[in-house]
Amino acid sequence: MFVQQAIAILDSGVGGLTVCKEVMRQLPREKIIYFGDTARAPYGPRSPEEVRLFTEQIVDYLIQFDPKLIVIACNTATAAALDYIKDKVNIPVIGVIHPGARAAISTTKTGKVGVIGTIGTIRSEAYTIALRELNPQIEIVSQACPELVPLVERGLYDTDEALFVVQNCLQELKEYPMDCLILGCTHYPFLKNSIQQVMGEKVTLISSADETAREISTVLHQEEGLARGNDIPVHQFFCSGDADMFRKIARQWLGEQIELTPIVWQVSSPVG
């Protein structure tokens, strides 16, 4: 494995930027090539077959850059396509569901865990399976929140409208006596303040981004593929939809992480 190669990160839209931010923070020497399929977001309501096809198309596109590792930074795509993509390519592929499940298991004190996600993620029961593989006695309540991803993709995550929508989505779920809630979609950390306000301070919110970045570090260390030297990486960001909105959200979210790191915005691709 060549340490100069990039980490490829893909998502249905801007949600995977939450993973990007953690990779930039924990692994500042690593170059990132990111693809957000904003033209076809959200993936949640789509069939597993369609999500698998879209994920394969994006991977085929990213492989031309010769990455050393691929991160499927989308829970819906992880549930639908992780094993398929692992069989398709000859480099490590990481999803975001098992890292999130591990973080929840290590956090919960009561063994009662909530999961929110897209329709596709919740329907797949991927989190239930992952959590019970780690602890068969865990108690889980899950809920799909299809209204949340479109809010984030439109850049409305820090608004009164967002709080109103989150309140409506979580009204029933917050009555369940959980002590942690898995944000089972990488878009949801954009709404963390609203979700925390609705769920209350006694509920710990679990984002898979931090744990996923740790897993990337572990895999690259095992493969002797961690970047070395003091060169500042130049990241490349692609999207398939509204380039201006994508750049705006990316700059807001990544903030200080990209102040000293050059970004190349390449906003067209053959995907779609």
The set of catalytic residues is: 74, 185
H helices of the chain, where?
17-26, 48-63, 75-88, 97-107, 119-124, 126-134, 148-153, 160-170, 192-199, 208-222, 243-254
Cα→Cα distances 174→28, 117, 200, 231, 250, Å: 37, 15, 9, 47, 30
Taking Cα atoms as reference points, which of 82, 94, 67, 71 lies closest to residue 225? 67
DSSP 119-152: HHHHHHTHHHHHHHHH-TT-EEEEEE-TTHHHHH
